């Protein structure tokens, strides 16, 4: 296996980074090249993504990679979160900054949407879970409000598609991110045009769908000149960050046997589910509000979105505005010292989608549900962590119901695996072995998809073997399960 370096541009909701993956002799080494902050910007009461600043940071990271490796970079690919998009008008003019999925514009949209097309009909076309910020409802709000941007739009590009267009000049919609829009039919593998037309959305803005591993071509000449990456091809990874993260799950299955594992991609969100060879669109999936999202290698990510580290991130942000600028180690110590399972919340209650003050939102929920109110910071954190672990247990049962078998191992990947307390709590609450790692799963999956496309790795099975050899994992065995059983009964009463 020849030595090649691939650059993953991995954008999350709170930060972004460029990581170079050096593939050499059947092993992968990852090196961080550049890191930058991300987040929403309020302009006139609307929450936007700062696309110009993000693009400036992406270019800065390309220059840093060029300074370090130059023409040694063989590929570049971008992954981001799902559902958000930008619109291009005549002459490929960008029509404003993309709106953030946590913006309030889609509050109350379900009633208006289902008055046009019944919920069951939407699910039949898309097999997707219902979340108010899905692209379908963002577009519907624009239509209902008579947005001039929608009238002028000729092309819709999801966030990673925007960056790939800026990198190459090529416009397409990568499949894994398109599959999060609720405008995509996972059975046909095409846009759900009958549904799009039923909502009176402009069908012409939905462009060609490209698969992960598609080679878009070289960087624009001006970018080559400023970065020095004259040998790099832009290669589509699974551009939805969870698709790339799941590709990097270091799981092993015996030939012909069904997987006995599920995954949690743990970051701001926790995406929990199973891999399926085909879409599962039936009454059980609809009832559980699970989702069929596209995966790398023709798989389906049958999963559920759960609120993840967002609860802790927002608590830290609020406290840092005062005189408590704590690091993550400080927060870990505070939560470890607090009494476990004393107060619980439903992490996915609407109270926690975008509150101004997360600690107060947690306290208000406990107060409203007649529980002890966590006044101290450590108690607030412990309440959040215990509740996330119990939500994992709840969703584990749903995954087993849909899989029709017992799941023995929970693979947790992503930055949230650094929180060892949550990983242990997940094992304890679920009564299952937890395998945590790799931390940079999204970037690893991004890099390995590029490597497969470039012919450096044969397929996903071999890619996962390379990942197993290259990155350590940490295992957590369950204990104290009886105490968690009692807490689980209280937790389910809150859902």
The residues assigned a catalytic role are 241
Determine the Cα–Cα distance for residues 330 and 334; give it in Å rounded to an integer. Answer: 6
- Exposed/middle/buried for residue 152 (C-beta within 10 Å: 0-12, 13-18, 19+): middle
DSSP 71: G
Beta strands 4-11 and 73-79 are: parallel
Q: Are 218 and 234 in contact (CB under 8 A)?
A: yes
Residue from 259, 264, 273 nearest 302 by CA: 273
DSSP 340: T
Q: Are 263 and 246 in contact (CB under 8 A)?
A: yes
Helices 109-116 + 119-126 axis angle, to 10: 80
Residue 16 phi/psi, 5-degree rounding, is -135, 160
Determine the Cα–Cα distance for residues 304 and 307; give it in Å rounded to an integer. Answer: 10
Residue from 182, 38, 45, 179 nearest 119 by CA: 182
Determine the Cα–Cα distance for residues 361 and 369; give it in Å rounded to an integer. Answer: 12
């Amino acid at each position: 296996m020849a030595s090649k370096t691939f650059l993953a541009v991995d954008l999350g909701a709170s930060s972004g980074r460029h990581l170079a993956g050096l593939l050499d002799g059947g092993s992968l080494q990852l090196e961080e090249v550049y890191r930058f902050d991300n987040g929403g910007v309020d302009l006139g009461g609307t929450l936007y993504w700062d696309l110009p600043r993000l693009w400036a940071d992406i270019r800065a990271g390309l220059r840093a990679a060029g300074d370090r490796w130059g023409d040694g970079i063989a590929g570049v690919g971008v992954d981001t979160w799902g559902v958000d998009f930008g619109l291009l008008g005549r002459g490929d003019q960008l029509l404003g900054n993309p709106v953030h999925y946590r913006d309030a514009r889609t509050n109350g949209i379900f009633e208006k949407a289902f008055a046009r097309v019944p919920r069951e009909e939407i699910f039949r076309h898309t097999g997707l879970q219902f979340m108010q910020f899905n692209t379908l409802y963002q577009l519907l709000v624009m239509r209902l409000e008579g947005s001039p941007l929608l009238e002028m739009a000729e092309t819709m590009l999801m966030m990673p598609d925007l960056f790939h267009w800026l990198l190459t000049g090529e416009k397409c919609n990568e499949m894994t991110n398109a599959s999060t829009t609720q405008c995509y039919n996972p059975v046909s593998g095409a846009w759900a045009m009958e549904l799009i037309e039923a909502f009176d959305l402009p069908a012409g803005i939905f462009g060609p769908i490209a698969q992960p591993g598609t080679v878009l071509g070289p960087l624009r000449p001006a970018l080559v000149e400023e970065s020095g990456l004259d040998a790099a091809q832009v290669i589509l990874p699974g551009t939805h960050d969870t698709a790339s993260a799941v590709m990097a799950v270091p799981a092993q299955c015996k030939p012909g046997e069904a997987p006995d594992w599920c995954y949690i991609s743990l970051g701001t969100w926790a995406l929990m589910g199973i891999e399926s060879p085909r879409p599962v669109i039936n009454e059980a999936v609809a009832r559980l509000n699970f989702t069929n999202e596209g995966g790398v290698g023709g798989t389906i990510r049958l999963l559920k979105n759960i609120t993840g580290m967002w609860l802790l991130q927002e608590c830290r942000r609020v406290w840092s505005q005062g005189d408590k600028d704590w690091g993550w180690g400080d927060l870990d110590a505070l939560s470890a010292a607090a009494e476990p399972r004393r107060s619980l919340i439903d992490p996915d209650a609407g109270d926690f989608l975008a509150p101004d003050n997360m600690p107060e939102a947690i306290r208000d929920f406990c107060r409203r549900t007649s529980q002890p109110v966590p006044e101290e910071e450590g108690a607030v954190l412990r309440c959040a962590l215990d509740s996330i672990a119990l939500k994992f247990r709840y969703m584990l049962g749903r995954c087993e119901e849909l899989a029709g078998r017992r799941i023995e191992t929970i693979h947790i990947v992503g930055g949230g695996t650094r929180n060892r307390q949550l990983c242990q709590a997940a094992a304890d609450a679920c009564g299952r072995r937890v395998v945590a790692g790799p931390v940079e799963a999204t970037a690893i999956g991004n890099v390995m998809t590029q490597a497969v496309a470039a012919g450096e790795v044969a397929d996903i099975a071999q890619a996962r073997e390379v990942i197993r050899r290259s990155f350590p994992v940490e295992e957590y065995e369950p204990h104290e399960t009886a105490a968690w059983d009692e807490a689980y009964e209280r937790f389910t009463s809150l859902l």
